[in-house]
Structure 1
Amino acid sequence: MDFIFKLCLIFVLLKVVPSKSIRNDTDTDSRMELMETSMEKMEQRILNLTNEVTKLSKRKKDEHVMFYVTLSSDITLNQRSIVKFNEIQYEEGANLNSGDGVFVSPVSGVFMFAWTIRTSSGKIIYTELMVDNVVKATQILQPGSSVPKIQTTQFVICRVNEGDHVWIETGKGFTSENFFDEYYSSKSSFMGILIHRF
């Protein structure tokens, strides 16, 4: 900001001081009035530039909204439970609360969401992507007893409005116990990326 101010000041001084009308004019009051007018114009230009820089920086921040979170340990959840992905691996311009597992969109736009669910043999997991209490997609994972561990990923592209809440929760059917198995670095995860802003 100091750089912009100095640049504008130099520009005004170069434009005002060498002016032929000022050099030829011996009236001090006229020169002072002209300087004051020039300073007011410069202040207005600096204010306009400051507002533009603020808008551009906010727009850049809003255009880069993404997050990637994982589960830190094995959990078993009942039906209609929010999956609280509690390890934030990456976040930029996003507003994801690792305490409750809910993402609040800072902008309106088209997002891509994906969630990976991992479980072990004989277990069932039924999950849904929710956007303000509306189911946008479901994922059901039901490995047989001969499969020791398995994971699947579901991708969804959908419109989200500014302030909408987005989360993964267990569904209301298929099983009353949803077992999320975390094995070394292979974890259940949830991610979202802004594709296009409105």
Structure 2
Amino acid sequence: MSARIVIVSLFICLIRGLDGVAQQPNDEPQLMEFIASINQKLTKMEHQLTDKDVQIRNLETKLENHMAVNAKYVNDKEKEMQMKNLELDQLRQHVTSLTETLSETVTASRVLANRVSILEQTIIGDESSAESISARNSEVHGFFEVNDDPKQTRIQNDTIFSNMASEEVPSDDVVEDQTSETRQIRVVPSFPLAFHVELTNSMAVSQGTIVKYNNEALDDGDGYKISDGIYTVSETGTYVITWTTLSGFRSYIQTFLVVNGVKRGASFSDAQEIHDVHQASSVVVLRLNQGDHVFIQIGHTTTNTMYSDISYSARPTFSGWKLF
């Protein structure tokens, strides 16, 4: 708009100049000089307008480039937020799984505590009944002692069977309860058995490697050997075996619970899609015999290291205890 005003003003000045020249016909050189000056100014203005157009186009190009860069940045941030949300969902699922496992473990512990209490009460109650049973067995044994007189022996036998027939026969419920109590007494372990070992430093591994946990925190029964990573069962019974595995950044590792060369449990720790340490735990309840060899073995893995970081209290562990 300002350029147009300038051009109009120059045009007006040109007309006035022509009027003045018309009044003075002998000043033709001055008129030509004036026209040439006007042409120079118009040419200069055209160049300035051209430069302004170029500057405007450059500014528009820079603005478009800047908007494109910002759009790409926003798009990348949206993708990053989606990945973070996905990782958060996975962590929530993992926490839910751990919570369920913990709840099941607490429930199993309560059941075990109740069974131990029942066993203690049964043992205390049977101490008195054992004395009466022993006395009765002695009495019966006395009736069936060998006698030189066959007639006297027959009389004694008739007497014992008559006395036994006159006694009250217990009901089926009583017999079943007594049998159940007797069975419970048989499964009481002679002494507690438990072990807990840790891997305090990262360990080089490959598929088929037996994990050698180097820190023996607990070993009641002296069954675990640090030198080979194998736990040898010292008493037949039902055991709970649990182990925890860690996978490092952008990797996964699979482990197996092996008993006498046979896989009895598995665990899979996967941190391939996250830049973080991932933990996986497994629990197995199984029947073990005296002399069985139990150990943790590496399966498929993308890393050659069993991860352990004591600074963050992140340690692979291997534990077990006898239930009954």
The answer to whether the Cα contact below 8 Å between 2:256 and 2:264 also exists between their aligned partners in 1 is yes
Question: Structure 1 residues 174 and 77 mapped into 2: Cα distance closer, same or farther (>3 Å)?
Answer: closer
* Equivalent-residue separation in structure 2 for 1:160 and 1:170 (angstroms): 22
Matches of residues 15-54 of structure 1 in structure 2 within 5 Å? none
State the partner residue of 1:85: 213
Q: In structure 2, what is the Cα distance between the partners aligned to 1:165 and 1:153?
A: 21
1:182 equivalenced with 2:309 (yes/no): yes
Secondary structure in 1 matching 2:323: strand
1:161 corresponds to: 289
C-alpha distance in 2 between matches for 1:127 and 1:152 = 10
Task: Give the TM-score normalised by structure 2.
Answer: 0.40
Equivalent in the alignment of 2:280: 152
1:46-94 Cα offsets, whole Å, 9 max, x none, are xxxxxxxxxxxxx988531100000020113011000001100112124
Letter in 1 for 2:263: V
Distance 1:175 1:144, change over 3 A: closer
C-alpha separation in 2, matches of 1:166 and 1:186: 23
Bigger Rg, structure 1 or 2: 2
2:224 to 96, 99, 108: 96
After the TM superposition, which segments of 4 or more aligned residues of structure 1 sit over 4 Å from their partners?
A: 59-62
> Is the partner of 1:67 in helix, strand or coil?
strand
Unpaired runs of at least 5, structure 1:
1-58
TM-score (norm 1): 0.64
Matching residue within 198, 221, 228 for 1:70: 198
Q: Could you say which residue in structure 2 is the equivalent of 1:129?
A: 257
Does the CA-based 8 Å contact 1:97-1:103 persist in structure 2? yes
- Counterpart Cα distance in 2 of 1:71 and 1:174: 18
Alignment partners' CA distance in 2, 1:76 and 1:141: 17
Q: Distance in 2 between matches of 1:62 and 1:170?
A: 34
Structure holding more strand per residue: 1
Alpha-carbon contact 1:119-1:151 (below 8 Å) kept: yes
- Identity rate, percent: 24
Shift of 1:192: 0.6
Pair 74,161 (structure 1): closer, same or farther in 2 beyond 3 Å: same
Alignment partners' CA distance in 1, 2:246 and 2:303: 17
Per-residue Cα deviation, 1:31-58 (whole angstroms, up to 9, x for no partner): xxxxxxxxxxxxxxxxxxxxxxxxxxxx
Give the direction of change, closer, same or farther, for the CA distance of 1:72–1:181 in structure 2 (3 Å limit).
closer
Aligned to 1:139: 267
The structure whose residues are more often helix, as a share, is 2
Partner of 2:58: none
CA distance in 2, matches of 1:75, 1:180: 7
Aligned counterpart, 1:17: none
Shift of 1:179: 3.2
Task: Indicate the RMSD between aligned Cα atoms, in angstroms.
Answer: 2.0
Q: Secondary structure at the match of 2:309?
A: coil
**Higher relative contact order (Cα pairs below 8 Å, separated by 6+ residues):** 1
Q: Is the 8 A contact 2:253 2:303 kept in 1?
A: no
Partner Cα distance (1:61, 1:91) in 2: 16
The C-alpha deviation readout for 1:139-179, integer Å capped at 9, x for no partner, is 111113424112111100011110000000102x3546353
What SS does structure 2 have at the residue aligned with 1:63?
Answer: coil
Could you say if the C-alpha distance between residues 62 and 119 of structure 1 is closer, same or farther in structure 2, counting changes exceeding 3 Å? farther
User: SS of the residue aligned with 1:72?
Assistant: coil
Q: 1: distance between equivalents of 2:323 and 2:291?
A: 17
